Structure 1
Amino acid sequence: MDQILFYLFSALALGSASYFVFAKNPLYAILSLIVTFFTIAALYILLNAQFLGIIQIIVYAGAIMVLFLYVLMMLNLNKEDESKKHNINKLVGIVAAGILFVGMLGAYKGLKTGVATKDIDVSVGLTKNLGKLLFNEYVLPFELASILILAGIVGAVLIGKKDL
């Protein structure tokens, strides 16, 4: 059953990601990207990485996509603007996709066949184990990162504040 769900979510993720790339309407493209993020989260959960799945939903499908939709509404794209675009952007995209394909092909050729799955620890992605590791061994870097984020928030508020 897990393998059927894995293939189903993989096909859905590939289909929605392909639609995102080839969609003409930017709103439909962003909605298909949201579907892609949710299916990737489902794949994480199927692979026993529950924490990554939940973070995928909260951070990407929640926060990032809200920002994308906000920027889309602020840009107010019209069909008249589409005629002003040059074909050089499409050429650069095709070249970049070709380079990515060659890199993925090289990585695939470098894989060893017959990888043993007996030594895989299935409890690695559990939130309980991640929390123990984070708050025991890595507590100082975790707290330093939180102070750095707080400093960034204070800096953004000070920069964005209007002088009264």
Structure 2
Amino acid sequence: MTFLFYLLSAIMVISALMVISTRSPINSVLSLIVCFIAMAGHYILLNAQFLAVVHLIVYTGAIMVLFLFVIMLLNLNKVTIPTKTSVTRISAVITGGLFFLVMVAATRLTFEIHPRYPFTNQIGLVSEVGKTLFKEFLLPFEVSSVLFISAMIGAVMFGKKDETKKL
């Protein structure tokens, strides 16, 4: 189990580095898809199968494929990257160094984590998500559903052609 965690973590880090280092946008999107698949593997290791499937369907299946189609339809030609000034490079090095120092300081601190709920092996399953959603979080769930319905109605109203105005 530990080996699988480290393998998935290495795949995620390598593919994330490829996202920001490759010059081709299509290769960047494909690397991000690999990163998302490895993240779904982490969800499965945490026994959150429902979250893994939703992550694969929503992010990898829908959003990344949409990004890939948009990039392919844009027909991007080779773009020359402008050279950066020395001030930009120096500020990037300083920012990266400060970020590194903050990360080192954060790893040296110890935090006591007190879970709100006791940990069970049923925590990521669909039945437990449904029970929690409809028992403890019923009001926020209903408020968000009303918000989504009003947003859909607003989008339809904005997108609908006004037939009463004739020129």
- How many positions carry a matched residue from both structures? 156
Aligned residue runs from structure 1 range 12-161, under 5 A:
12-79=11-78, 81-83=79-81, 85-87=82-84, 91=89, 97-111=96-110, 120-161=119-160
Deviation per CA, 1:13-42: give whole Å up to 9, x if none.
Answer: 111111111111110110010010010011
* Structure 1 residue ranges without an equivalent (≥5): none
Q: Which residue identity is paired with 2:142? A: E
Query: How many angstroms does 1:122 deviate by?
Result: 3.1
Q: CA RMSD in A?
A: 2.8
Q: Secondary structure at the match of 2:33?
A: helix
Taking the aligned partners of 2:92 and 2:162, their CA distance within structure 1 comes to: 43
Deviation of 1:111 after TM superposition, in Å, equals 2.8
Q: C-alpha displacement at 1:106, in angstroms?
A: 2.5
CA distance in 1 between counterparts of 2:55 and 2:125 reads 15
The structure in which a higher percent of residues are helix is: 1
Q: Is the Cα–Cα contact under 8 Å of residues 26 and 72 in structure 2 kept in the other structure?
A: no
With over 3 angstroms needed to count, the CA separation of the structure-2 counterparts of 1:43 and 1:70, relative to structure 1, is: same
Measured after TM superposition, the shift of residue 162 of structure 1 is 4.3
Structure 2 gaps of 5+ residues are none
Give the greater-gyration-radius structure (CA): 2
Letter in 2 for 1:123: Q
Percent identity reads: 43
Whole-angstrom distance in 2 between the partners of 1:93 and 1:77: 27
The TM-score, its normalising length taken from structure 1, stands at 0.78
| Letter matched to residue 64 of structure 1 | I
